[in-house]
Amino acid sequence: MQVASIVPSSKVLIDRVAGKFDFSAPRIIAEFGPGEGCHTREIVRRMHPESRLLLFELDPELANHLRHYFRDDSRVSVLNTDASNLPVELSKMGIQHCDYVVSGIPFSTMEIGKKRELLKCIHESLKPAPHAAFIIYQVTNELRGHAQLFPRIKSEYCLQNIPPMFVTVFFKQPLLNGNGASHNGNGNGNGNGNGKH
Ligand SMILES: C[S@@+](CC[C@H](N)C(=O)[O-])C[C@H]1O[C@@H](n2cnc3c(N)ncnc32)[C@H](O)[C@@H]1O
């Protein structure tokens, strides 16, 4: 239930997920459920030298492995704690908001109240900026149905993974066009980002 995966993410999926970030500036990034760190290594490889990466991994052995692997990179902090502690951990570090939250934890098996609470805490922790987003890779795309807080959502399907996965980006802010009008990215024009997929 905690790991919910048979093999680590494929190189194609890792590239697709890493491609969703704007790494051109220093970013504060939180990763939920890095596991043995296959997405983490790619994020670290691409991120700006002044970025910070906070890893939330529940499994103590995996957390220790990550701590050892990234011991020489002061940009990376490993937290052997539940993802829901994101606001507490940010405030302990004197950080107000993060630019991105990327998640590999099994949201689909999470109890509905916990799922909605976690989405709310992610939304509140993200910076009010057009690039700021929650990025998730999941077998189902059911989380879209619970993410009304996010005004713009974009999904794609990555077949080259075992099993195939949806990569979905939930943006904190709507995309402003020339008239200042919002666009939810789903073409349904109602701004709630919950168009069928
Ligand atoms: C499917 S594995 C993902 C591993 C890796 N990111 C990948 O793509 O191959 C899920 C990971 O999330 C961790 N995890 C599950 N629930 C969590 C939670 N609430 N907070 C932090 N980590 C969690 C598990 O211990 C596991 O390492």
> Tell me, what's the pLDDT at 64?
98
Has residue 179 got a pLDDT over 80? no
130 CA from centroid of ligand 1 (Å) = 27
pLDDT band at 166 (very low <50, low <70, confident <90, very high): very high
Has residue 122 got a pLDDT over 70? yes
> Tell me, what's the pLDDT at 5?
62
pLDDT band at 35 (very low <50, low <70, confident <90, very high): very high
> Tell me, what's the pLDDT at 86?
98
Decide: 109 in ligand 1 pocket, CB within 6 A. no
Q: Where are the alpha helices (DSSP H) in 70-129?
A: 86-92, 112-125
31 CA from centroid of ligand 1 (Å) = 9
Has residue 29 got a pLDDT over 60? yes
110 CA from centroid of ligand 1 (Å) = 12
> Tell me, what's the pLDDT at 102?
98
Residue, of 3 and 195, whose pLDDT is higher: 3
Decide: 37 in ligand 1 pocket, CB within 6 A. no
Give the C-alpha separation, 10 to 48, whole Å.
24
Q: Which residue has its alpha carbon closest to ligand 1 atom 6?
A: 34
b/e for 39-77, b at 16 or more Cβ within 10 A? Answer: bbbbbbeebeeebbbbbbbbbeebbebbbebbeeeebbb
> Tell me, what's the pLDDT at 135?
98
Give the C-alpha separation, 134 to 117, whole Å.
14
Nearest ligand 1 atom, CA 2:
15
Has residue 183 got a pLDDT over 90? no
Dump pLDDT digits (tens) for 51-82: 999 999 999 999 999 999 999 999 999 999 99
Contact yes or no for 137/165 (Cβ under 8 A)? yes
